[in-house]
A and B are shown apart, each in its own frame.
Chain A
Amino acid sequence: MSDKCFTRMGDGEGIWMSKEQIREEVLAGMEDAIVKGKAQPMTGGDVDYLVEILTMPEKNVSVERGHEGITTFDAGTLKMAVRSGLPIDSSTALLIHERALCSDTMEICNTDYSYKQIKNIVYEEAMAMERAQMNCIMPIFYGAMPNMGLYTKPDGPVENWSELLPQGKVLEALEAQEKAAELCTNDMVYIGSILAEAGACGIQFDTAGASGDADMLAALQASKILSQKYPDLSITMGMANEFTLGMHGRLKFEGEKLAGQYPAKQVKTAADAGVHSYGPVINTNSSKSFAWNLSRSLTHVQEATRAATIPVLPNVGMGVGGIPLTTTSPTDATTRVAKAMLEIGKADGL
């Protein structure tokens, strides 16, 4: 094993690879992003440095001094009080993050992380935000997902386009998506406005585009309205995928077709909507190596940071951005992703 380096698969399983094998994986991952995403290749120097990061003998690594970025969250207050089962409320979770973990920002959210589901409890969420703002120094976002699929019957009022399309009812499917996007936009503006007036530092639209281009359109429209209505409110948008799925296929925002957009175009579209920071998502392929996944993610992220006029904060949670697809990401992989995203991807934070 002496000539082999410990690394991982995309599902987190530990494996041993030679440095040459890791380089091959890096080149193959980069090639996938070039072919599918039309991204530019990383430079030879970047490839060498990525191989160096991947083969460092240290268990955990960090950025060089001065290369730090800011950290943000999705599902912020869900993680301690709900997923980890700590018997604390969200305001305590915020203060643990501020005073014990020293997070740069945090996010308040509801267990059902979808804007539609928050309508009935939005004033309670607003009161939680007001109380949190009295105690916290760091910036606090409120976040949830557009999750436009929730507007389909039987949970919502709109016909389900995923059922209409196989029946050949194409026009009905298009109309259903357009109607759902309108309802979703209205809900996000309504909830975002109440949270903004409760003193939220920012609003997060997370996993935008999960139901396709109409879902993305709803998030963009809500961002535009809120950014104009509340000039001091920060809006951040995290994506659902490395490309915007064309479930509708014809939708445009400010003249730009949304379907098929990769991060370099997504970030420009987000900026046009008044979004202040953008989080690309590059999904991890659990059957491929960690090296392949991280290289592919970095190639996409570099393409986005080259094009961006706003900060780029790549999503690096479970199963995205090169992070293995497992609920407990190994720290060696997590820290390598963080280092590479800032130093090679040129991200502004995470």
Chain B
Amino acid sequence: MALMHEMAAGMGGIRTAGDLVARMVMKGMKIDAAKEYVANKLGCSVFDLSDSAKMKEIRESLDIGTVVLRPHGSNGMAAKIKIAELLDIKIPSVELFKKQTGKSF
């Protein structure tokens, strides 16, 4: 059932900008404001956010994780460190990782 909801109405996760918009909605932003915020940070239009072809290019250029792994491309925590910086937000797991490694990014 979840898959049908995602196909019918979801943003598209890391195929598009779904994870990024979700991070802003999770902070209490309504969906239109969240899309606007993410589009501004990515330097694209709101329309582009759910276009998987456009977002593949953007995600690859920013190295913030893609559906298909790439050699030396960021994934998991490495991608999230960049996402936190890009969206100018604190991601709890990134903060924990900084604390564990004693590094600041």
Taking Cβ atoms with an 8 Å cutoff, the residues of A that contact B are 60-63, 65-73, 79, 97-99, 101-105, 130, 133-140, 196-202, 230, 232-234, 236, 276-277, 308, 310-311, 316-318, 323, 329, 331, 334-335, 338-339, 341-342, 348-350
The chain A residue with its CB closest to the CB of B12 is A102
Provide the B71-105 mask, 1 if CB < 8 A to any CB of A, else 0. 00001110110010000011111011100000000
> Within the assembled complex, what's the spacing in Å between the Cα atoms of A230 and B80?
19
Find chain A residues with CB under 8 A from B6 CB.
71, 101-104
List chain B residues, Cβ under 8 A from A233: 92
Interface pair A335/B4, CB less than 8 Å apart: yes
| Contact (Cβ within 8 A) A71 B10 | yes
Chain A residues with Cβ below 8 Å from B28 are: 276-277, 310-311
By the criterion CB–CB under 8 Å, are B29 and A99 in contact? Answer: no
Query: Looking at the complex, which one of B2, B30, B47 makes contact with A71 (CB distance below 8 Å)?
Result: B2
CB distance from A143 to the nearest CB of B (A): 13
Majority SS at the chain A contact face: loop
A residues less than 8 Å from B9 (CB atoms): 62-63, 67-69, 71, 335, 338-339, 341-342, 349-350
Task: Evaluate contact between B14 and A70: CB separation under 8 angstroms.
Answer: no
Q: 8 shortest A-B CB distances, which residue pairs? A: A199-B93, A102-B13, A133-B93, A234-B26, A104-B18, A338-B9, A348-B31, A338-B8
Q: What would 15 A/B residue contacts be, using CB atoms closer than 8 Å?
A: A62-B7, A62-B9, A70-B31, A71-B2, A71-B5, A71-B10, A72-B22, A73-B2, A79-B2, A102-B16, A139-B19, A200-B92, A232-B89, A276-B28, A310-B30
Contact of A201 among B10, B26, B46 (CB under 8 A): B26
Docked pose: A334 CA to B16 CA in angstroms: 22
Contact between chains at B11 and A69 (CB < 8 Å): yes
- Is B77 in contact with A133, judged by CB distance below 8 angstroms? yes
